[in-house]
Amino acid sequence: MHSTILQYLEETAENFPDKAAFADVEELYTYKKLVDAAKRIGSSIAEKVSRRSPVVIYMDKRAYNIPAFLGAVYAGCFYAPIDSRMPAERINLILNTLQPGLILYDDKTEKNLDSIAVQTEKLHYQTALDSDINETVLNSIRAAAKNTDLLYVLFTSGSTGIPKGVTISHSAVMDFMEWICDAYQLDETAALCNQAPFYFDASVPDLYIPLKTGATVYIPPQNYYTFPKKVLQYIEENKINTLFWVPSALCNTVNCKALEICAPQSVKLIVFCGEVMPCRHLNVWKKYIPNALYVNMYGPTEAVYACTYYNINREFANDEKLPLGRACSNCGIILLDGDQEITENGVTGEICILGQCLSQGYYNAPEKTCAVFTQSPLHTKWIEYIYRTGDLGYWNEKEELVFAGRKDFQIKRLGHRIELGEIEKVMLSMDELEYACCLFQEDGEEIIAVYAGKAAENEVRKTMSSKLPQYMLPQKYIHLDQMPMNLNGKIDRIKLKQNYTEEH
Ligand code: AMP
């Protein structure tokens, strides 16, 4: 058993030193160059912070993010990626929770550093890269490393308005990599096209499959995804054979009719995870790229990328639902009813996950952790945690898991997980706004912000875009003189849904 993912990296670098590991349109990292860069950055970080500290990587999304992540790991630390376009207010919320030992930045983010309120050490990426490797320090850090050490923290939307930092250990990631590389015979011939941002768990296969196998990951510029034809041409040029994309990216490609212009037949494996994949869009992909294996995976950030998989091996009508399938070998799934009993086949219950795949909880948030990481209700004889996803599901007659929606107000938009409560909280932070309620129109993926109070719509919009990332901004604003309330004195969401969305 490997103790950290650095062992994967170093073994692969020995086997394939000159093979491309990560490439964007400007720069290419071979495995040898990757180890060298990561060790330089690691040596520099280790001079400044102690082992087990959080290191924030606040940089433009480029191939050089990967040596930065691995540099933090060489320093015995764990990394937390922050998007270069994230508004300062949200960054400060994250940094308050994280209290990082160090922020690694680049030319693109340097100008934003003044708006960071948390006092912490800051280091320019290039300065770190120009450092000498200190093998003695790196070796002593390595000797103390455990597979239970944290590898990264990814921040997801939190219902109280404070983003939650999901902690993930080396062993959880390695366990998933062992399973996925074996299940889909991924090796050094794999060529991936990264789609998801690195602060999003959907990018985890892109980052770690190469380390284990010697595969190559191509990182196209983010704006290519606005013009899917460009991404498809990029895939064709680079002979990419494997995609781990969120359904929204696959759907956008279909909506733009891009496959009609370019349908790269080099692609042999297409995995999607993170939200419902509509069969209508899937069927268009299957029509244009018929020889690929399509896989629906399901899982939250709290359980490393995916905990179930469904290999699509039959035809699905456009209005059918794809099953989530069976548990990956590194996880277990149980469905619990309101009495915390296992449900019978066909009966809906909350999807709960167990096993090595699980997070070690939310960073610096013990109460939030205890609310959803709980003792398995199946026994009391030893400690066994389950993660309560808040998702509902049932087992069909083929013993495949089927998704049946969310228990709460968490939504998925453009592949991003969003708590509507977080958007409401930002609205309610405005003095002149009295009530706020966000609705989600599934069809069309629109967030509708309903509010009451004296605030003018352009002021509300301005405040929202200064505080929230683009993907969380509502598409529609509805001003009411009076907010409808239910008998409990709470905002009457049901009535609002009836009035302002097409599905009730
Ligand atoms: P995230 O932590 O951002 O990956 O979001 C996890 C949530 O996305 C899950 O709890 C589900 O609600 C949803 N999700 C993930 N995969 C799927 C899928 N294949 N089908 C439907 N919903 C999904």
pLDDT in tens, 146-175: 999 999 999 987 666 678 999 999 999 999
Higher pLDDT, 413 or 148: 148
Q: Does residue 274 line the site of ligand 1, with CB under 6 A? A: yes
Phi, psi dihedrals of residue 33, rounded to the nearest 5° = -65, -35
**What is the average pLDDT across 12-39?**
98
Helix (H) or strand (E) holding 366: helix 366-372
Mean pLDDT rounded to a whole number for the chain: 93
What pLDDT score does 58 carry? 98
Q: Within 13 Å, how many C-alpha atoms sit on residue 224's CB side?
A: 19
Cβ(391) – ligand 1 distance below 6 Å: yes
Q: In the predicted model, what is the mean pLDDT of residues 83-92?
A: 90
- The pLDDT tens digits for 55-74 are 999 999 999 999 999 999 99
Q: Is 201 in the pocket of ligand 1 (CB under 6 A)?
A: yes
pTM: 0.89
Ligand 1 atom 12, closest CA: 391
Task: Please report the pLDDT score of residue 504 as a whole number.
Answer: 45
Rounded to the nearest angstrom, the distance between the alpha carbon of 377 and the centre of ligand 1 is 23
Pairwise pLDDT comparison (494 vs 92), residue with the higher score: 92
Q: Token pair of 465, please?
A: 């875009």
Instruction: Return the ligand 1 atom nearest residue 389 CA.
Output: 10
Percent of the chain residues topping a pLDDT of 90: 75
The one-character DSSP state at 414 is T
Ligand 1 neighbourhood includes 281 CB (under 6 angstroms): no
Statement: residue 488 has pLDDT above 60: no
More confident residue, 222 or 419: 222
Atom 3, ligand 1: which residue's CA is nearest? Answer: 417
Structure tokens at 323: 């099953």
With beta carbons less than 8 A apart as the criterion, state whether 274 and 247 touch: yes
- Indicate whether 379 pLDDT > 60: yes
Cβ pair 403, 419 in contact under 8 A: no
Whether 389 lines ligand 1, by a CB cut-off of 6 Å, is: yes
Residue 431 reports pLDDT greater than 60: yes
> Binning pLDDT at 50, 70 and 90, where does residue 256 land?
confident
Please say if the pLDDT value at position 420 is more than 90: no
Positive or negative, the CA dihedral 178, 181, 182, 184 is positive
Alpha carbons 13 and 30: distance in angstroms, whole number: 8
**Cα 174 to averaged position of ligand 1 atoms, centre (Å):** 21
For ligand 1, whether the C-beta of 147 sits within 6 Å is no
Q: Which residue among 312, 417, 418 has the greatest number of ligand 1 atoms within 8 angstroms of its CB, and so is best to mutate?
A: 417
pLDDT at 425: 80
Query: For residue 69, how many C-alpha atoms fall within 13 Å in the half-sphere facing its CB?
Result: 25
For ligand 1, the distance from its centroid to the CA atom of residue 281, given in whole angstroms, is 18
Between 247 and 386, where is the model more confident? 386
Residue 386: phi and psi, rounded to 5, are -120, 155
> How many other CB atoms are found less than 10 A from the CB of residue 462?
12
Whole-number Å distance, alpha carbon 306 to ligand 1 midpoint, is: 9
* 323 Cβ closer than 6 Å to some ligand 1 atom: no
Cα dihedral 138, 360, 213, 63 sign: negative
Tell me if 299 sits within 8 A of 306, measured CB to CB: yes
pLDDT above 70 coverage of the chain, percent: 98
Residue type, 34: L
**Picking from 178-182, 244-248, 355-359, 419-423, which range would have the lowest pLDDT averaged per residue?**
419-423
| pLDDT-wise least confident of 154-163, 314-323, 326-335 | 154-163
Residue 158 is predicted with a pLDDT of: 67
More confident residue, 286 or 255: 286
Closest ligand 1 atom to the C-alpha of 200?
Answer: 3
CA 490 from chain centre, in angstroms, equals: 32
Model confidence at 2, pLDDT cuts 50, 70, 90, reads confident
Handedness of CA 65, 220, 207, 257 (dihedral sign): positive
Q: Which of 28-32, 154-158, 191-195 has the lowest mean pLDDT?
A: 154-158
